[in-house]
Amino acid sequence: MAVYVDAAIWKWAGRRWCHLLADETEELHRFAAQLGLKHSTYQGPPKTSAPHYDITSFERTRAVRLGAIECSREEIVAVFRRVRVPNGKVKR
């Protein structure tokens, strides 16, 4: 099992952001706790179909140091598709 991060390319609130995903949700939460992320920042069903955290470029650097695998856009999309919860997102 592994934890993955993509490139921090999305700008919001004066920072660059990326995604933190893992093969298993419990693994994702354990890794996020190591990074010092609050569980309240978790994004998963029913808000979004793939369990993940949005993290800053600073947090990404720390995640890579802790063993997260750096992914290209194509690779992170493949991970997203693999871990997503079918029909997990609630339509509004």
Q: Could you read off the pLDDT of 27-80 as tens digits, one per residue?
A: 999 999 999 999 999 999 888 889 999 999 999 999 999 999 999 999 999 999
Q: What are the residue ranges spanned by the domains of the chain?
A: 3-69
Split at pLDDT 50, 70, 90, the class of 19 is very high
The model's pTM: 0.88
Q: Residue 74: in which H helix or E strand, if any?
A: helix 73-83
Average pLDDT over residues 77-92: 78
Site of tokens 């660059």: 16
Handedness of CA 5, 6, 12, 13 (dihedral sign): positive
DSSP state, 50? S
Indicate if the pLDDT at residue 14 is higher than 90: no
Structure tokens at 31: 């890794």
- Output the pLDDT for position 89: 59
